Amino acid sequence: MIYQSPTIEVELLEDNIAHLCFKAQGSVNKLDRATLDSLNAALDSIKQDPNIKALMLSSAKDAFIVGADITEFLGLFKEEDAVLHSWLEQANDVFNKLEDLPFPTLSAINGFALGGGCETILATDFRIADTTARIGLPETKLGIIPGFGGTVRLPRVIGADNALEWITSGKDQRPEAALKVGAIDAVVAPEQLKAAALKMLKDALAEKLDWQSRRAKKQASLTLPKLEAMMSFATAKGMVFKIAGKHYPAPMAVISVVEQAAQSSRAEALQIEHQAFVKLAKTEVAQALIGIFLNDQLVKGKAKKAGKLAKKVDSAAVLGAGIMGGGIAYQSASKGTPIVMKDIAQPALDLGLGEAAKLLTAQVKRGRSTPAKMAAVLNNITPALDYAPVKDADVIVEAVVEHPKVKSMVLAEVEQHVSEDAIITSNTSTISINLLAKSLKKPERFCGMHFFNPVHKMPLVEVIRGENSSEETVASVVAYASKMGKTPIVVNDCPGFFVNRVLFPYFAGFSGLLADGADFAAIDKVMEKQFGWPMGPAYLLDVVGLDTGHHAQAVMAEGFPDRMGKSGKDAIDVMFEAERFGQKNSKGFYQYSVDRRGKPKKDLDPTSYELLQAEFGEQKAFESDEIIARTMIPMIIETVRCLEEGIIASPAEADMGLVYGLGFPPFRGGVFRYLDTMGVANFVVLADKYAHLGGLYQVTDTMRELAANNGSYYQQA
């Protein structure tokens, strides 16, 4: 053995080829600080061994290296610039040492080689992957750029255009795609990886492959004629800005870095990369996006743990084949759990199946599925008008009309037709789970399973624990939601559960502004362009449906009369009473039509302005700060209340619920990250300024205390 540490081993193989193997003790190899130190020491041992003629890197795990250890980032990025610079210098010395070894080097890649893992393989002369490999630089998704030489080496290996596409999109690439652009030299079956890698190194030793010229190319300037280079960077900037937008600076920074470093030496190019890295690492966007990554891991970890307590779900049933029932059936079937879709009306079943077929056809057209797979998914959905086929289902999701009496009747009915240990859930958006549980003989087998519309797109499922729901029931529903490819978050029962409970105060803030004469389109513009929501509140209400919104608002008012009770008519009432239900009947705040190419179109409609003016008087202009404050303060305080009351278990889960369920702008990280970023004390001052607007603007005592102690919701790393 030439070198050994808890994460790396180096041994000498035939023909004096050294083999450096990453074998972390955990489930995956990561380039944390300890592993980087080990890699450095391992390379020193290799350099000092006069027998070694070539080096092969590989992994003993299912993945090569998944990347840097992101849990180290938030703390590290808070350090002084000088500390960050020296961390980058040290790390890059290791990769340079690898790149400069006086003999041919090769990476044998299996599974993920992402971020730092990808930068490791770029430092070797050759790269050979097996068919399981996924290679990429996802750093821009975290609001930063590669910092271990990725922006320097990748453009020199695969060309600037390809490299910019890889890095600005952050997507990982399949081995065939990586081979096509020259990121790797060969793809082989997993069982052939080691033999093929050794053969390639032997060919290099026998001078059949010119490893020196490859290395030289990687260290030379980018070979792009000047005019072409300018055009290519300018085009990339335009395209990337269009996709990433002004709130996400990292992808644009990548283009500047590659452009600036095009003619630089390795050392200079790395300096350019480091400067940009440190600047981005210090941004609130990076803190928010890294926070989301870590929260997502926490939520997934909880779901995985629940899986141990869960009952197996091999088959399911959904009651109601409407918008939601159809979506749930499609999602379950396409992720491999056969599902019975029961309704009382044949036309509803036809519509539900038709919707599923439409989604599948679109996938086939986009080349993401095949007609055979499409047929298999459709075969996994069994339409039914009676309960007979439901009897063997492990989980039942009730998704009939939002009416307590109908739901109670349907739940009592289905309990008679299913096995003793089947789990029963409801997709209600507003009705209390504890209330619905009363219609069941065995309420311990019941909980809420709240999907979001459209089901195939929205990643969140709220799993609502009723007072009698057993842990096994909740765990099984969490496991089923994960199996459906969704992110489940467990919440406790209350009106609106978590997501709708915090959404309606935001709508109330919006209605308050309209009552004071604000223009809904101006509000939408500020909330979309400036705050970053995918849709402003007026547009969102049109999409949800103003009838649905009107009904849910009444439920919330009844549940929280002191804060959400209404004193007079608001803008939602005005639209509802004028039967302007939103997109579903082509008119709400806006009017909807299709353009000449058949694309949906949204326009201003004088009628909705007339209706609002008749109720609230002349229009008045508001500053964007006031618009943001008056809509966001109620949502933020209600989110805090949900945490204080134990409706949601942690700030991390609340923030993920908001991002995944409502599209809360990811670059802001969620309500709690937003509060920590602006400072709880600053928020309290702001909210107090608007306290006269009513109960939704009153901060809680605990918030005030936290503000006084200069505290935060996330523990500082």
Ligand X SMILES: NC(=O)c1ccc[n+]([C@@H]2O[C@H](COP(=O)([O-])OP(=O)(O)OC[C@H]3O[C@@H](n4cnc5c(N)ncnc54)[C@H](O)[C@@H]3O)[C@@H](O)[C@H]2O)c1
Residue 551: active-site member: no
DSSP state for residue 72 in the 8-state scheme: G
Provide the mask over 442-471, with x wherever binding to ligand X is found by CB under 6 A and - wherever it is not.
---------xxx------------------
Query: Which residue stretches of 617-700 are H helix?
Result: 624-644, 651-662, 671-678, 680-689
Q: Which of 104, 138, 155, 320 binds ligand X (CB under 6 A)?
A: 320
Q: Which of 9, 259, 343, 493 binds ligand X (CB under 6 A)?
A: 343
Residue 709 labeled ligand binder:
no
* Residue 402 binds ligand X (CB under 6 A): yes
Catalytic member of 247, 274, 403, 450: 450
Q: Which of 24, 84, 187, 400 binds ligand X (CB under 6 A)?
A: 400
Give me the phi and psi of 511, to 5 degrees please: -60, -35
Binding span for ligand X by CB under 6 A among 190-198, 321-329, 592-600, 657-665? 321-329
* Residue 401 binds ligand X (CB under 6 A): yes
* Residue 399 binds ligand X (CB under 6 A): yes
For residue 49, give every residue at least 6 positions away whose Cβ sits within 8 Å of its Cβ, in sequence order, or none: 2, 12, 18
For residue 150, give every residue at least 6 positions away whose Cβ sits within 8 Å of its Cβ, in sequence order, or none: 115, 118, 119, 122, 137, 139, 167, 273
Q: Which of 325, 443, 512, 670 binds ligand X (CB under 6 A)?
A: 325
Residue 444 labeled ligand binder:
no
Tell me if 96 sits within 8 A of 266, measured CB to CB: yes
Binding span for ligand X by CB under 6 A among 206-214, 309-317, 337-345, 700-708? 337-345
Tell me if 204 sits within 8 A of 211, measured CB to CB: yes
Binding span for ligand X by CB under 6 A among 127-135, 317-325, 506-514, 651-659? 317-325
DSSP state for residue 463 in the 8-state scheme: E
Least separation, in Å, of the C-beta of 328 and ligand X?
9
Binding span for ligand X by CB under 6 A among 250-258, 401-409, 481-489, 518-526? 401-409
* Residue 405 binds ligand X (CB under 6 A): no
10 Å CB burial of residue 591 (0-12, 13-18, 19+) is: middle
Closer Cβ to ligand X, 426 or 469, answer by number: 426
Q: Which of 689, 685, 681 is nearest to 712 (CA)?
A: 681
* Residue 324 binds ligand X (CB under 6 A): yes
Rg (CA), the chain: 29
Q: Which of 410, 461, 502, 538 binds ligand X (CB under 6 A)?
A: 410
Residues 345-374 that bind ligand X (CB under 6 A): 345, 348
For residue 680, give every residue at least 6 positions away whose Cβ sits within 8 Å of its Cβ, in sequence order, or none: 703, 706, 707, 711, 712, 713
Determine the residue type at 167.
Answer: I
Q: What is the SS3 assignment for 271-326?
A: HHHHHHHHHHHCCHHHHHHHHHHHHHHHHHHHHHHHHHHCCCCCCEEEECCCHHHH
Binding span for ligand X by CB under 6 A among 294-302, 396-404, 649-657, 686-694? 396-404
For residue 357, give every residue at least 6 positions away whose Cβ sits within 8 Å of its Cβ, in sequence order, or none: 374, 378
**Number of shown-chain residues binding ligand X (CB under 6 A):** 24
Residue 624 labeled ligand binder:
no
Which residues participate in catalysis according to the annotation?
Answer: 450
Q: Which residues are annotated as a binding site for substrate?
A: 296, 500, 660
Q: Which residues form the interface with ligand X (CB under 6 A)? A: 319-325, 342-345, 348, 399-402, 406, 410, 427-429, 451-453
Q: Which residues are annotated as a binding site for NAD(+)?
A: 324, 343, 400-402, 407, 429, 453
